[in-house]
């Protein structure tokens, strides 16, 4: 059984679920825009959680951009600067909406621990 995917950086090591109301979003960059409706809870990995807990959407966008774990076609079709800008707009909207993180059940996986959480 594989681990859930982190909804931020796309790593297959999501360890937390955060409740969130459905959000209709439009992100606009210098060369286009993306529109979508995001429904329900978000999954996050141990690397993304510290940014989320601090409300650091710029730092999270920078981390996710550097992680570059998205679908190869998207990575090839978009520039790093475009993705970073879209992520910042998205996370600025999403982070304030997220509920208290709940650890996911750990089934046969060696997932990273969130630093500072006991």
Our CB check for Zn ion shows the closer of 8 and 57 to be 8
Chain center to CA of 89: 12
Collapsing DSSP to helix, strand or coil, 26 comes out as strand
Beta-carbon count within 10 A of 19 CB? 13
Beta bridge partners of 70: none
Q: Which of 3, 15, 27, 45 is the binder for Zn ion (CB under 5 A)? A: 45
Q: Which of 18, 48, 52, 95 is the binder for Zn ion (CB under 5 A)? A: 48
Site string for Zn ion, 77-96 (x = CB under 5 A): --------------------
Question: Cα separation of 42 and 6, whole Å?
Answer: 8
Considering the complex, what minimum distance in angstroms separates the CB of residue 14 from Zn ion? 7
Question: Cα separation of 52 and 100, whole Å?
Answer: 10
Site string for Zn ion, 1-20 (x = CB under 5 A): -----x-xx-x---------
Our CB check for Zn ion shows the closer of 27 and 46 to be 46
Contact between 104 and 1 under an 8 Å Cβ cutoff? The reply is no
Residues that bind Zn ion (CB under 5 A): 6, 8-9, 11, 45, 48
């Amino acid at each position: 059984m594989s681990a859930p995917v982190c909804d931020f950086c796309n790593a297959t090591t999501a360890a937390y679920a955060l409740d969130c109301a459905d959000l209709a979003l439009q992100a606009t960059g210098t060369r286009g825009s993306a529109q979508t409706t995001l429904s329900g809870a978000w999954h996050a990995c141990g690397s993304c959680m510290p940014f989320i807990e601090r409300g650091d959407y710029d730092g999270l966008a920078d981390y996710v951009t550097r992680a570059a774990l998205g679908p190869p076609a998207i990575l090839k079709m978009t520039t790093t600067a475009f993705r970073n800008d879209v992520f910042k707009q998205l996370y600025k909207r999403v982070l304030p909406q997220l509920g208290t993180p709940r650890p996911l059940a750990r089934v046969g996986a060696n997932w990273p621990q969130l630093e500072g959480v006991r």
